[in-house]
Structure 1
Amino acid sequence: MPSANSPMPKTPTRTPSTLVLGATGFIGRWLVLELLSSGLTVAAAVRGGTRRDGELREWLREHGADDRGLLTVDADITRPGLGLSPTDDARLATVRDVFNTAALYRFGLSRAEAHAANVDGALHALRWASTRPRLRRLVHISGYRVGTGPAVFPLPPHEADERYARLGAYEASKLEGDAAVRVEAGGLDVPLTVVNPSSVIGHSVTGEAGQYIGLANLVEQLWHGRLPALPGSRRTFLPVVAIDHLARFLAAVPEHDSGPLSVHTVLDPATPDLPELVGIVAAHLGVRAPRRLVPTTVLRRLPRVVTRTDPETLSFISEDRYDTSSADLLAESAGIGHPPVEDLLRRWAARLVADRFGAAPGRPAGSFVGLAGSRSYVAGERVAPGYVLLHGLPLDSDGWHAVVDRLPAPSLLADLPGLGRSSPATGSTSQWLTELLAPVRSRPVIVAHSAAAGPALAYAAAHPERVSELVLVAPYFLQPRPPWAVRTAPIAATVLRRASADFLAGALLGPGPRGAEANATVAAAALGLRRPGVSERTARRLRNLQKPIKRAELSELLRSCPVPVRLVAGEHDPLTVAVPVNPAIALPVVTVPGAGHHPQLSHPARLAEVLAELTNPTTPADLPANDLASTALTSTDPTPTDPTAARLDVRP
């Protein structure tokens, strides 16, 4: 939301020509963005008044829209007349086009809830549109499974009861609402277009989603290793459409449709069948795709606790194909084409992971790239970063977010191979880091926390011409070895896998109050440790790092490092091993007051100040090329209960 000092929204100087109902919803806000970008004056119907107005405008501005052409009105589609005040109703007298994107999309709805929004709401929108003296067209959003057959409304009570029992409240109400609008539009002489989109997923360029149910649930189960089999058959078809394609299509409808009724099914017919679709997503995310198939007839007989599937979703598991000819003609006339569907799926799936499937939307979004055989999660500036931030254990790169926001130059972040969101590498960590930094054309400051100190130090020693400075935060090899339990991989893996967010936060940050950002980061890490193999790989890394010979090698490498090295430690987690001194360079130790082993979580503002004071990141464009510099980092790269064990001392 805007701050208290944000300027109040201005009323457009022109009267609105278009009304979007459901303007704060997933489809609605992208449609408003498209209409404003076309130069139209748009009225957005929002439920919630000034608060929702501020949220919508902030989102639009973040996406480059000029919101001076936006008028918001408080509306409620479940009420006759849309619940508009007389003043707002009069302000909308000039509306020519009405888009009804409002609906209640959720499985498990009661029949009354679904009917109020998806049937009564659709009829209220139609009847209100019929009162507009300049009305050109009502565009009603339905769904691709609704169909284009004869509309019957109302159904005999026993048939309606059977439909709701068979399909569930959501789909049954969408079918009823579609029929109701088509039947009544003729009697009210309202020019109507019904648009039936398939599963609407992310933006074709950024992957941005904003909706985390339906097919997104399946991707979430795949990501967390909870998808042992796929529903349906090898020909199951769950078609998708990019949200930006749908928004452009909707915006074009009033200019291209005429006559009393048009019906368009909007989906990308090039969508792969479900097993292939899941395989594409799995390969991009670096997880294993299920090979088994379970027919829906079997799934319907199994309890939900076994299938982990909402029964209402099973009606979407079908081999049916759909007639898109009318939509294809309109799109061709409007100069609109579907983006490449495989690229779309990869970008969307990566964005779902970045958003933690809705738990942490709005954070800097990363993507998955191939590095040393790992499908690695990489975020931030990839060509000319001022900083490269490498995380320790058991966190991932999100642990740096509160620091990144405060640094004076852009940063590159990545999850180390086999940790966080990155799959294991076939090459070494040194090779992985070399490939990560190959496309970088600046001489960044490398900031490595704890366990990442080793590979960062090795890279700086091998490539001093590509690093301006090295900052080691709580380098583990200059601290005492942790307790034996942490160095015993099976015990550590069990503790990590079962650790709750509160337990892990206590282990990493100690007792006392913690900021919301730190809590969210640790909660995400705790969830990530439950993904298949992550806790085991983390535990093995903890064990291997503590070998005396490895610690001695790093101490010697620190002594001979040819680039400036700075050491940072928390007040309550000091460096207790003698720092090797290289007469040629200084190795000052900067202490962060009040901090422990994770100052990036507990004291991000102070750590950012320290980094800004100690470093002078440069971004020259004349670095020598090397054999790896052509490596592309693109997002379309094809390839419980708290344990009762003692407090976990996870230093690296």
Structure 2
Amino acid sequence: MEPDSIVFGASGFIGRFLVAELLRRGSTVAAAVRGGGDALTAWLSGQEVPLDKLSVVRADITHPDLGLPPDALKEVRDVYNCAGRYAFGLSVEEARATNVTGALHVLDWAATRPGLRRLVHVSGYRVSGAGGGSPDYRRLGAYEASKVEGDAAVRAGARERGVPLSVANPSTVIGPGQFVGLASVVADLWRGRLPAVPGGRDVFVPVVDAAYLAAFLAGLPEQDGGRGEAYWLLDDRTPVLPELIKLLAAHTGVRAPRRTIPVGLLRRLPRALTRADPETLSFLSTDRYDTGPAEALAGRMGLRPPPVETALRTWADDLVATRFGTTTAPPRPYGYQRVAGTATWITGDRARPAHVLLHGLPLDSDSWREVADRLDGPVLTADLPGLGRSGPAHAPVTDWVAELLSGTETGARPVLVAHSLACVPAVRYAAAHPERVARLVLVAPAFLQAPSPWLSRTRAAALLLRRMSAPHLAATLGVPEGPAVAAAAADLSRPGQARRVVAALRAAHAVRHELRELLTRVNVPVEIVVGSADPLTVPVDRPVTTIAGAGHYPQLTHPDELAAALR
């Protein structure tokens, strides 16, 4: 079956969302990509998108013929140009090759389709309609100037050739997989590296949800009957930038900056100090945009954008889940939830978990990922208050565990698994709520083992932890390098994190004798798992499983054996 639609730039962020939307609607789609299409098809499969009507074709819009055979894709009715170089620091030649010349090549190719219904050109909210001619590349920068020039050139070319054109002007597009633009501000906020909000108090950086944008683009050819129509696609209800940052800070449990830095001052400060690309500063504007035509057309399509604050929080969860694009996100659900007043990072469903896994120091709940993948039934993990990705504690950790597990449905009794430090609140919870726990498993329970050498360190311990690289941390813990250790090292570099780790370690040591006595009064089945290189130093009247060759972190070194012990 010949494709009826083609998407140029199909492997890009907007392009892949559009391909997914078209396929879900039953269109036959040609996805035009420069390289191979494996990454695109893998992403579509992960979204459970049917692929039976998808064709992947190699194309390069910088070539006049797009790299396509002359007689190929004659049945295409709808042409979408989502291709473009969205990057700063480009040379003028690099930017123009795709954003101007390439856009005109797509226009020329579309004009030769005998049954063309519409060309949809994706422009930008800051550049569309900004004027034609020769924009000031020195003042605007290569990216924005090339987009301004390309927008005007495509409009003029479509008028001359009678090509039915629709122009979409999306603002900052947010959704899973978006790691550029505003995402860098969110990353700095989360890492504690945003001392002030860039721009003034009224700066407006509007956003639009990726799935909503894709649905709008997919409906344009059928709904837009005019020529050269332009639609500003952005959510007018987006909070001004200081309020947007405050919203995300509250959601993720970090401190929002109280000061702003005017754009004029940012332009004069050294880039080494601001870490802001000069080309991005023009986006720090108080301008507003005419969204009326887009909203009216969306209404005729039956589309409504998701609440913008919900979309922003969900996007922040996606950013943190992938460590801002450096790793793969776990299966959903995941994200921040309020537990005992703490912005808590949670992975899994709180309703009916078969296992609840609590991490030790200095790791976070990602340290359980390989074990969780080997367990049967739903697994719930969470970063402890003040540790990992969670915000600072607002209540005792025992209260936090009680509220975390209060979300389980009546009658659900999970296996509660705790590692090292987490054994303290786990034992207390099991002793207080035996009716809520099927079994308690203590992995490397520190209160039954030799004291950590870190207890003899001074305040310099926190400074040392904060500066540890992933290889150094792995060597210190006696575990191989891997994603969990890299995540822990990144967490420790956040403000206050290393200090809280040392404080938690000392607090746990202070209650060692209390916990040993409390363990004797726990009225649920208790099992203990240790590594042969990290044995118990206190005899206990509970079953003990020893994993040969393991140390204090069997979840990282021996996940198969630990999962077997938990099962």
Q: TM-score range by the shorter chain?
A: over 0.9
1:384 pairs with 2:352: yes
Which of 509, 521, 539 is matched with 1:560 structurally?
A: 521
Q: Does 1:271 align with 2:238?
A: yes
Give the residue type in structure 2 aligned to 1:350.
D
In the other structure, the counterpart of 2:101 is 120
* Structure 2 letter corresponding to 1:541: A
In the other structure, the counterpart of 2:553 is 598
- 8 Å Cα contact 1:18/1:97 also seen in 2: yes
8 Å Cα contact 1:233-1:294 kept in structure 2: yes
Q: Find the aligned partners of 1:448 and 1:235 in 2 and give their Cα distance.
A: 47
Which of 471, 489, 495 aligns to 1:532? It is 495
Task: Verify the 8 A CA contact 1:347 1:367 in the aligned structure 2.
Answer: yes
Aligned length: 564
Q: Secondary structure at the match of 1:115?
A: helix
Report the equivalent of 1:21.
8
Q: In 1, are the aligned partners of 2:172 and 2:208 still within 8 Å (CA)?
A: yes
Q: Deviations over 1:403-434 (max 9, x none)?
A: 11111111000000011111122211110000
> What is the percent sequence identity of the aligned residues?
55
Distance 2:92 2:174 in 1: 26
> In structure 2, which of residues 153, 167, 170 is the aligned counterpart of residue 194 of structure 1?
167
Aligned position for 1:70: 54
Offset, 1:364 = 3.4
Equivalent in the alignment of 2:85:
104
User: Contact 1:489/1:539 (CA < 8 Å) preserved in 2?
Assistant: no
Query: Does 2:9 correspond to 1:39?
Result: no
Residue in 1 that maps onto 2:413:
443
Match of 1:222 in 2: 189
For residues 346-425 of structure 1, the aligned pairs below 5 Å read 346-364=313-331, 366-425=334-393
Q: Does 1:166 align with 2:139?
A: yes
* TM-score, scaled relative to structure 2: 0.97
**1:497 counterpart residue number:** 466
In 1, the alpha carbon distance for the partners of 2:131 and 2:189 equals 39
Alignment-mate amino acid for residue 145 of structure 2? A
> Which deviations, in whole Å up to 9, do the C-alpha atoms of 1:191-233 show, x marking residues without a partner?
111100000012xxxxxx2021111110101001111111211
Q: Which residue of 2 aligns with 1:476?
A: 446
Q: Return the letter of the residue paired with 1:187.
A: E
**How far did 1:34 drift?**
0.7
Q: Is the alpha carbon distance of 1:479 and 1:146 closer, same or farther for their aligned partners in structure 2, counting shifts above 3 Å?
A: same
- Give deviations 1:69-98, integer Å, cap 9, x for gaps: 1111111111121112x2xx5341100000
TM-score by length of 1: 0.85
Counterpart residue identity of residue 95, structure 1: V
**Counterpart-to-counterpart distance in 1, 2:132 and 2:164:** 16
State the Cα distance separating 1:172 from its structure 2 match: 1.1
SS class of match (1:90): coil
Deviation at 1:593? 2.0
1:301 to 268, 284, 288: 268
What corresponds to 1:486 in structure 2?
455
Contact 1:236 1:274 in 2 (8 A): yes
Q: Please state if 1:545 is matched with 2:508.
A: yes
Decide which of 111, 129, 142 is 1:130's aligned counterpart. 111
Report if the CA contact (8 A) 1:500-1:526 is conserved: yes
SS of the aligned residue for 2:14 comes to: helix
Residue 45 of structure 2: aligned partner: 61
One-letter amino acid of the counterpart of residue 174, structure 1: K
What is the distance in 2 between the residues matched to 1:60 and 1:187? 37
CA contact (8 A) 2:439 2:524 kept: yes
Distance 1:537 1:344 in 2: 31
CA contact (8 A) 1:487 1:546 kept: no
Cross-structure match for 2:153: 180
Q: Which of these residues, 480, 485, 490, is aligned with residue 522 of structure 1?
A: 485
| Pairing partner for 2:422 from 452, 461, 472 | 452
2:361 partner letter: L
Task: Give 3-state SS (helix, strand or coil) of 1:264's partner.
Answer: strand
Corresponding residue for residue 129 of structure 2: 148
Structure 1 residues 311 and 150, CA, compared in 2 at 3 Å: closer, same or farther? closer
Cα distance change of structure 1 residues 361 and 107 upon mapping to structure 2, 3 Å threshold: farther
Query: Structure 1: how far apart are the matches of 2:375 and 2:151?
Result: 52
CA distance in 2, matches of 1:79, 1:410: 51
Cα distance, 1:260 vs structure 2: 2.5
- Looking at structure 2, the residues matched to 533 and 434 of structure 1 have their Cα atoms a distance apart, in angstroms, of 25
Give SS of 2:124's match. Answer: coil
Q: For the Cα contact (< 8 Å) 2:128–2:151, is it kept in 1? A: no
How many Å separate the matches in 2 of 1:376 and 1:557?
Answer: 27
1:188 deviation in Å?
A: 2.2
User: Which ranges in structure 2 are unaligned for 5 or more consecutive residues?
Assistant: none
Higher relative contact order (CA 8 A, sep 6+): 1
CA RMSD, Structure 1 to Structure 2 (Å): 1.3
Contact 2:212 2:305 in 1 (8 A): yes
Task: Please give the alpha-carbon distance, in whole angstroms, between the structure 1 residues aligned to 2:461 and 2:339.
Answer: 27
The alpha carbon displacement at 1:150 in A equals 4.6
Q: Quick one: distance in 2 between partners of 1:566 and 1:592?
A: 13
Name the SS of the counterpart of 1:20 in structure 2: strand
SS in 1 for 2:212: helix
Contact conserved, 2:365 with 2:383, CA < 8 A, in 1? yes
